[in-house]
């Protein structure tokens, strides 16, 4: 973990930040990350905890609360957490721990790993040879409306009738057409999302769909869907190629793919620590 207060913390009490649990002892984990806080693997039997020393003072509830509006600091910590796990990923299977997991000492880390070893082994076996990929879908509403207007039989029919009518009746018909267009656009979004997710899910081991979508859309588009897929690493190329094809077939939608991630979205474990 990054240590911003490093210079004056040489004598301050140190704890251990734990990034994740691994089944090997990956080397060269994170050269250059957090100078003065080398990332290492604490071996506990057949498991390893990916850790780095941190000054405990930086992670007390008070210290964390004081930092909670400090976006730059949070962003740095989050990126470093990710970077350490990402570097371990090609070398070993990793069960990521929640951001901000800090132990007072190495013995605490060992006790935690020992107590939950069975669960960690189970999770590692499940995640071995698999990767997480994220997908955000957003829609260009105007473009989709245009597309629907030119392809929908209902809209086409209304447009044809409209031309044959006098202005008053044509106006009413135009309103009706707008209403139908809105419905069909919504339907088109739902169809696209449902179809894309189903096709991708068929290639994935597990999926997580939904959650907040705001903020991830390309400019001029509106986020409509967000999901994560756990994919066999050997099938990743096929999975991504499928995604390319699905995206190409949906010009009014914007697909943003990210990964491979450590399997953050596929470890729903809450482990109660009963003794230190």
Q: Which of residues 213-242 bind another protein (CB under 8 A)?
A: 214-221, 236-237, 240-241
Give the integer Cα–Cα distance in Å for 264 and 81: 12
Size, binding site for another protein by CB under 8 A: 86
**Identity of the residue, 86 or 159, whose beta carbon is nearer to another protein in the bound complex:** 86
CA distances from 191 to 54, 152, 186, 212 (A): 49, 14, 9, 20
Task: Show the 3-state SS of 137-161.
Answer: EEECHHHHHHHHHHHCHHHHHHHHH
Q: Give least dist CB 187 to another protein, A.
A: 18
Q: Give least dist CB 269 to another protein, A.
A: 4
- Show contacts with another protein in window 94-153 (CB under 8 A): 95-104, 108, 111-112, 116, 123, 134, 136, 140
Q: Which stretch binds another protein (CB under 8 A): 5-13, 68-76, 144-152, 177-185?
A: 68-76
Q: Which stretch binds another protein (CB under 8 A): 6-14, 40-48, 165-173, 253-261?
A: 253-261
Give the integer Cα–Cα distance in Å for 115 and 94: 18
Count Cα atoms within 13 angstroms, Cβ side, for 118: 1
Q: Which stretch binds another protein (CB under 8 A): 147-155, 169-177, 178-186, 264-272?
A: 264-272
The DSSP element (H or E) to which 202 belongs, if any, is helix 167-203
Residue 57 contacts residue 9 (beta carbons within 8 Å)? yes
- Show contacts with another protein in window 176-205 (CB under 8 A): none
């Amino acid at each position: 973990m990054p240590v911003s207060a490093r210079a004056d913390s040489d004598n301050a009490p140190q704890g251990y930040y734990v990034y994740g649990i691994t089944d090997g002892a990956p080397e060269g984990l994170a050269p250059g990350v957090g100078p003065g806080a080398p990332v290492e693997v604490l071996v506990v039997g057949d498991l390893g905890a990916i850790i780095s020393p941190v000054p405990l003072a930086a992670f007390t509830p008070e210290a964390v609360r004081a930092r909670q509006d400090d976006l730059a600091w949070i962003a740095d910590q989050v990126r470093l957490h990710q970077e350490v796990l990402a570097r371990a990923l090609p070398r070993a299977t990793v069960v990521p721990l929640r951001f901000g997991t800090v132990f007072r000492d190495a013995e605490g880390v060992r006790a935690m790993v020992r107590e939950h070893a069975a669960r960690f082994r189970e999770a590692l076996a499940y995640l071995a040879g698999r990767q997480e990929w994220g997908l955000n879908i957003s829609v260009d509403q105007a473009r989709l409306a245009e597309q629907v207007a030119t392809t929908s039989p209902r809209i086409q029919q209304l447009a044809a009738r409209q031309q044959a009518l006098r202005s008053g009746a044509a106006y009413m018909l135009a309103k009706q057409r707008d209403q139908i267009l809105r419905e069909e656009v919504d339907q088109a979004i739902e169809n696209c999302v449902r179809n894309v997710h189903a096709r991708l899910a068929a290639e994935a081991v597990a999926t997580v769909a939904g959650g907040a979508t705001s903020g991830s859309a390309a400019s001029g588009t509106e986020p409509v869907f967000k999901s994560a897929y756990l994919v066999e690493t050997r099938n990743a190329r096929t999975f991504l190629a499928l995604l390319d094809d699905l995206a190409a077939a949906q010009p009014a939608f914007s697909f943003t793919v990210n990964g491979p991630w450590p399997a953050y979205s596929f470890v729903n474990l809450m482990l109660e620590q009963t003794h230190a």
